[in-house]
A and B are shown apart, each in its own frame.
With several copies, the nearest count.
Chain A
């Protein structure tokens, strides 16, 4: 049996129903999905408002690194059946889903929640995507703080 792995960088809306269907096999009984959205209002750390985010990506490398994240998930949780990793890019407004990590397995107790969590954490470390935040006081690039090591 081959397990589906989907990764994509897209300017289109993220369709959770369609993605879930693509990673559901006849042996699948559970899915954990993480999505991130643009916050219009942030209260933690540096409270501020956001008009929109502008995402860009180094697409071929981002696709390769998404595949790597999927490979790492499969290595850590052998029970995982399907994996979907999607990043939406372009100009994205508050409440819009920007990223999705979905994983499926036969049962809910063999790592789906942990794998989805791992997937979004790794995406934010190694997948070359950047966002610029445009708010009432101007625009600012958001930079991560992770420096990949050799082989990552």
Chain B
């Protein structure tokens, strides 16, 4: 198993109601599989997850990426700084 930490920001954090989530996931899990798991476990995140940005260890990441050991994942909407 792979212990990861997920951070939530902005709208998706508000939806989730929490800033972080620690999770044990199978080795070799992809970003897409993680999003599917979250949508399954937390149905009210389902909509937010459709257009979510994902970072893994502070780099943008994509559906077919495999999540490395002890990854820090973040889920957030398109950025709006400035």
- Chain A interface (Cβ within 8 Å of chain B)? 36, 55-58, 60-62, 64, 87, 98-99, 120, 123-132, 141-150, 152
Contacts and interface: CB of A to CB of B under 8 A. Distances in A.
B10 A144 contact: no
B77 A130 contact: yes
26 contacts: A36-B82, A57-B81, A58-B55, A58-B74, A124-B81, A126-B60, A127-B81, A128-B9, A128-B53, A128-B55, A128-B74, A128-B79, A128-B81, A130-B9, A130-B10, A130-B11, A132-B10, A142-B80, A143-B11, A143-B78, A144-B77, A144-B78, A147-B78, A148-B60, A149-B60, A152-B60
Contact of A124 (B51, B53, B58, B82): B82
A145 B78 CA distance: 6
B47 interface: no
Interface of B: 7, 9-11, 14, 51, 53, 55, 58-60, 62, 74, 76-82
B80 to A, nearest CB: 4
A77 to B, nearest CB: 20
B74 A56 contact: no
Nearest to B74: A58
B81 A129 contact: yes
A87 B78 contact: no
B58 A60 contact: yes
A118 B47 CA distance: 32
Contacts of B58: 58, 60-61, 64
A115 B60 CA distance: 23
Contact of A87 (B7, B9, B11, B81): B81
Contacts of A132: 10
Contacts of B7: 58
* A-B residue pairs, 9 tightest by C-beta: A129-B81, A144-B78, A130-B10, A61-B58, A148-B60, A142-B80, A144-B80, A143-B77, A141-B11
